[in-house]
Structure formats: structure tokens, C-alpha cells
Structure 1
Amino acid sequence: MYLQSQLDVIEWLPPAAAERLRLLRQRAADAHRLIPEFETVREASMTKIEAANELKRLTDHPQDFGFNLKPDDPRVKTAIKYLEKMTADLKRLTELREVRTAAWQTASQAKAAVESWLRDGKPHGTTLEEVETEPPKLNKGEDVLSGIESLRRRVRELRADLHRIASAPYPSAFCKQRMREQIEALAQRGTPSVSRLVELDGPVNFQTQSLTSEVHAERRSLAFTETADALALVAWLHRDALIAALDREISTEADDKAALSHEARQKAEAEARGDLLAIERAETALVWRAMDERLPVEHRPDCNPLAILGCQLVTVPRTNGSPRSSPMHAWDVRR
């Protein structure tokens, strides 16, 4: 029996965070209620069509079942004005529906992102605790909306830094060491055995490798074969030349000025992510303030849910060694 879908993710939150999620839900629901109903738009469309048909009946020739009235006839003028009014009403309703649907979708995106993260993104073995942060201060001459935009520019800068860190090459010395380890392993794997030749006057045994391939025929099947390990044999035979050639390739390809080691990469990423979360906490605090002041702003759907909810993750120690419940099958009481 699948119980997890019956539970509301808001039950996992501390009180203040739960209230923030309720506010997000209420904001989305309020925005949805402002959308003109489809039936209202349909009725306006039908009224316009009826007005157009009435005008056509007044001006059509009698052979087309019309009254053949002239354009200056008062009844035609009245029908034209009524059609123009119905056309304008339909246009207004259609545009209003589009604008308010877009506003509802914008208001719903952050809520959906937070709920999705709570259901599927929150790390197992963690719980959420409220975190207190200093209220952000606006710069001189800066209002709430411009303060939010300033923080969002900083968010974009930090995300660009994270992309730069992730895209940074590795140092040439590290790459050369890894290459040597790979070639040494290949050479060792490809070393021929002459034991049978020396002891039994048998053949030299060259190392082999097993290959598997898929056969595409009327019925798909697998084919297996064993063949000489040519790459490993070349590495054994020309190890020094191969290492020297790859050394030159690495020196040509490397960019040590922009390179980051694993340790430097982890440190830089941790610092950037910490700064990003701090900026997003300040941003969301201003967004909540702007919402209280009824200003036109919404939380970004890609904002960290921890910042929107005002929480932090805390690891919960396991109380016993029993296995966790299988995902999608039962509710894990230790979540």
C-alpha cells in the first residue's frame, strides 16, 4: 500500500516554514481565482458570433434570407455598435485570461518547486530546522524591488562562478600522473607470458580480452568472442614512447593558469555555494517583505528551497541498524 502520496509535505516542516509554504499555496490559489472562467469567455465568444450573424441577416439580400438594409439604416448602425462592443468585450476577457493565467503560473512555480524538493530532493537522513538570519539592509536610495534585483544579479554572478569552477581543467601535473598510472596498468595487463615456451616448448601466451556485441537480426541476440588485447600489448611494447607522446599532448592541451585540483575545486565550490545560499536567503527575505507590501514580485522557481522556507538541513543520526523502507512502497518513519 502506497502511503507516502497521502501525506502532505507541509507536515515535515517546522512551524515558521510550514506557514511560508501555506502562504505560497494561498498566493497561487488567489491568483488562480482571478482568472476569468472558461465558460465566461465561451459565452462572450458566442455572443459576439450571434451579434455578427444578426448584422449579416440585416444586410444580406432577401435571396439569402436577409432584409437588405442599407448601412445608414438605424437598425444596422445599432447592430454594428453592438458587434463592436461584443468584440471589445471578448478581446478584453481573452487578454485578461492570458495575463492572469501567466500570473498564476508564475505564482505557482516556486510553490511547485519547493513541494517537489520536499518530496524527492531532500536528502535522506536529514531534517529541516528553522534558521535565523539578519534582515537584509537596502543600499542608499534603493527600494525593495531594486534591492531584490541587485541580489538576483549577484545570484547570477555566483552561478557563473560555479559554472567556471565546474568547467575548469585539471592541472597538467595531475593529468600526467593519471596518464602514467593508466599506461602502467595497461602495460602490466598486456605483458606476454613466456612460461610455457621456456618450460614446455609451447607458444608464447599473449594476453586476450573478452568482447560482447549485440547482433541485430530477426531476433536480437548477444555474441561473445575472445581476441588479443592489442592496446595492452602496444602499451607493454612501447610504454616509454607512449608516455612521452602523451606527455606532449597533455602539455599542449593543458591550461594550468585556469586549472583547479580536486581539492581546490571542492573548496572553491563550497565557498561559492555558501555565498549563494546566503545571498538567496537575503533575496527571499526581501521578496517576502515585498509580498507583504503587495508589490508585484514572486520567488524565483530556481531559488534554493531552504532559502524560501527559512530552513537548514540537519543530519539525523540513525537510531538502529534496521533497513530503510523501499522508495515508492512505504512511508519511512525516520524521514
Structure 2
Amino acid sequence: MRFAKQSKLDPADPRMGDKTVVLPPGAAAKLAMLRDRAAELHYISSGRGEDMHAARSALEHAKADLQKVTNPRLVGTIMGVTPEHLAVLEANVSELRGRLDRAETRSTEAREAAKEARLLISNIEKWMSRCSGLRVADHQGAEPKLRRGENGVEAVERCQRRIRELKADIHQVHSAPIHSNDAKVFASAYVEQLRAAGAPNLSLLIEGGVRRIEWPAQELVHTVAGPISNRNVPPEAAFAAWLQPDVLVAALHREIDECSDDDAALSAEDRAKKLTTLMADKLSTEREEEYWLQDLIRSGMNISRRIDADPRSVLGVSSDLPAPEDSF
């Protein structure tokens, strides 16, 4: 079952935009809701909201009323002003100034929330561009349960703590050095391709009868590390790889043995397995976080999502879709 029921949105609704055509109706409605909320926050943060306008107007009128009884040039024209009346006017100005201060605070908070909302939407749209041409299906999963004695806010905080822990674990796996055996396999393949790039061209001498040997002068050398410029590879390296590849490989292997930290290293296979497990755990936790966030928002709580939340969890779509590029 779906984590949260979402209203359907007409595909022609202008809030959906061209980028949401790949989304199922529930996810499209969710994205439209996020865009509406971002627009609302922007309006509030701009100082044009009704609360801000009303607070400014009321304060200006109250200050004008107070000035009428305190301005020396006007005091004589107003009869029957008592100390009690003056105190009421001053208290009214003070109260309205506090009301305006609170409205400005809400505006400042809304400005930050609007910025976060725009960043979240931008990240979702970038992710959607990676899904172009793919079938985007709804996520199917059981609804999470609160732990004993836990409320919704505490559930969100628990999920966010776990997400931070998983991010740290994922970073650690990404940062782990490669095993010396993997490094040696790479170095050997690299030298072999350098050897091919450094080989002279003897075709003119053998077949054309031209007494000339041509040495490679191409701008790029294609290796297992990708295309690299000759400016980053000394000509002597390609020449040495062609002339004595075994010697160069042995020298590189010795350097690898000296530099490697195999106790902390991960093989490519182990790294992939660990990342797959951690990323699945992180997405599952983010889905639970979104469920409780949705529940709190429906109850009227003003709460923001993380700007780096996984779009698959926010929109409630399948885990089989690509992860966002900066998912760790």
C-alpha cells in the first residue's frame, strides 16, 4: 500500500509543468503541492502578506493617534486627554509594534524556508531529468509504525539521526582506499595501453620504402583511466612502456605495495556490496521520515523537508529508479 494518500491532479494543471509528465498522478500532485508551498513562502517572505500589511497599517495609525496628544504643536487643539487615555495609546503602539516584529520574524523565517523549498524542488527536477524515458511507478510498501512512547516529531528526529549516520557510513565506504591487488590490476592495464600508445609506426619504413620511423604525436592517450592529454603524460612514460613494459609494471607494483593500506582497503566487489546495503537502508529511512513529515504537515505543523531528501522518498515513487547524483 502507499504510505500516504495523495489527491490526483489534472495533467493539464499548469502547476505540473512539462517536467512532471514522467510522474504518476499522485507524485505529480505532490510536486505541485511543493511548488505551491514554495510560492506561498516566497509571498510571505516578500513582506506583501496580509499579516505584514495589516500590522504596518495599524502601527502607523496608532503612532499618528499618539502623536496628536504628544506633539507640542497639537496638544492645545485636543481637549480632555487624560493620563489614562495617553497610557492606552502608548500601550497600543507598543502592542502593535510587537505584532509587526512578529510578522517580520515570520517573514524572515519564511524567506529561509522558501529558499530551502526552491532548492528541494530544483534537486527533484534534476533527478527527474535523469529519469527521462523511464517508467516511473508508485512505491509500494507497508506504513511505518511509531515506536513505543514515540510521537511524530520524535519519529522524524529519529529518522534524521539515522540518515546522518548512514551518510557518514556511505562517505567512509566511498573514501576507503582500494586494495593493492586492484591497484596493481589497474596499473598493469594502464601500462599496456601506454605501451600501445608509445609504439612507433614502422609502416612507412616497411611498406612504403621511406627511410623514416614515426613516433606517436596524438594529443590524447586513451587508457583505463580515460582519455589523458600527452601534456600530463611525459613522452618518456609512453616510450618506457613500449620499450620495457615489464620493468615499468614491476616498478609501479613496488610503489603500490609501499603506499597501500590493505587493512583499511575495500575491494571493488566489497565496496559495491556495502554501498548497495547502505543506500537501501538510507532510502528506506527517508521514506519513513517523509511519512511522518506528511503526517505532521496534515496536522497543521509548519515543518520543512531536508533540501537533500531523496526525490524517490518525497514523491513516493519506486526504489528501482536511479538514485540522485549526490545521494551520499
Note whether the superposition's TM-score is higher than 0.5: yes
CA contact (8 A) 2:293 2:303 kept: yes
- Work out the CA distance in 2 between the residues paired with 1:110 and 1:155: 20
Question: Match for residue 168 of structure 2?
Answer: 160
Aligned ranges 1:6-21 → 2 under 5 Å: 8-9=16-17, 12-21=22-31
Question: Match for residue 292 of structure 2?
Answer: 286
Which deviates more from structure 2 when the two are superposed, residues 41-50 or residues 149-158?
41-50
CA contact (8 A) 1:52 1:83 kept: yes
Which residue, 85, 101, 106 being the options, matches 2:113?
106
Question: Match for residue 324 of structure 2?
Answer: none
Which residue, 297, 314, 317 being the options, matches 1:311?
317
CA contact (8 A) 2:30 2:315 kept: yes
CA deviation profile, 1:101-122 (whole Å, cap 9, x unmatched): 4247537745763476247535
CA deviation profile, 1:186-245 (whole Å, cap 9, x unmatched): 334434578959x98957x36242569xxxxxxxxxxxxxxx933322334554443333
- Work out the CA distance in 1 between the residues paired with 2:205 and 2:313: 69
Secondary structure in structure 2 of the residue aligned to 1:126: coil
Unaligned 5+ segments in structure 1 are: 59-65, 213-227, 316-335
Which deviates more from structure 2 when the two are superposed, residues 274-283 or residues 299-308?
299-308
Which residue, 87, 96, 101 being the options, matches 1:94?
101
CA contact (8 A) 1:138 1:147 kept: yes
CA contact (8 A) 2:120 2:308 kept: yes
1:110–1:38 distance in 2 versus 1, CA, 3 Å: closer
Q: Which has the larger strand fraction?
A: 1
CA deviation profile, 1:118-166 (whole Å, cap 9, x unmatched): 4753511223322232121222221111111111111111222222222
Secondary structure in structure 1 of the residue aligned to 2:136: strand
Shift of 1:75: 9.3
Aligned ranges 1:323-334 → 2 under 5 Å: none
The code of the aligned residue for 1:151 comes to C
1:192–1:308 distance in 2 versus 1, CA, 3 Å: closer
- Work out the CA distance in 2 between the residues paired with 1:186 and 1:46: 79
CA contact (8 A) 2:241 2:248 kept: yes
1:114–1:191 distance in 2 versus 1, CA, 3 Å: closer
1:307–1:286 distance in 2 versus 1, CA, 3 Å: same
- Work out the CA distance in 2 between the residues paired with 1:274 and 1:147: 19
- Work out the CA distance in 1 between the residues paired with 2:118 and 2:201: 66
With the length of structure 1 as denominator, give the TM-score of the two structures: 0.64
1:38–1:208 distance in 2 versus 1, CA, 3 Å: same
Unaligned 5+ segments in structure 2 are: 1-11, 221-233, 322-328
The code of the aligned residue for 2:101 comes to T
Matched, 1:269 2:269: no
- Work out the CA distance in 2 between the residues paired with 1:111 and 1:211: 43
1:128–1:185 distance in 2 versus 1, CA, 3 Å: closer
Secondary structure in structure 2 of the residue aligned to 1:312: coil
CA contact (8 A) 1:131 1:312 kept: yes
- Work out the CA distance in 1 between the residues paired with 2:210 and 2:276: 62
Shift of 1:304: 1.6
- Work out the CA distance in 2 between the residues paired with 1:39 and 1:257: 65
Which deviates more from structure 2 when the two are superposed, residues 137-146 or residues 109-118?
109-118
1:252–1:308 distance in 2 versus 1, CA, 3 Å: same
Which structure's CA Rg is the greater one?
1
- Work out the CA distance in 2 between the residues paired with 1:189 and 1:282: 53
Aligned ranges 1:224-303 → 2 under 5 Å: 229-237=235-243, 239-303=245-309
Which residue, 153, 172, 193 being the options, matches 1:185?
193
Question: Match for residue 124 of structure 2?
Answer: 117
CA contact (8 A) 2:22 2:134 kept: no
1:267–1:146 distance in 2 versus 1, CA, 3 Å: same
The code of the aligned residue for 2:105 comes to E
Question: Match for residue 134 of structure 2?
Answer: 126
CA contact (8 A) 1:45 1:90 kept: yes
Which deviates more from structure 2 when the two are superposed, residues 10-19 or residues 139-148?
10-19
CA contact (8 A) 1:129 1:314 kept: no
CA contact (8 A) 2:35 2:121 kept: no
CA contact (8 A) 1:25 1:108 kept: no
Say how many residue pairs are matched: 284
CA contact (8 A) 2:197 2:238 kept: yes
Which deviates more from structure 2 when the two are superposed, residues 32-41 or residues 117-126?
32-41
Matched, 1:148 2:156: yes
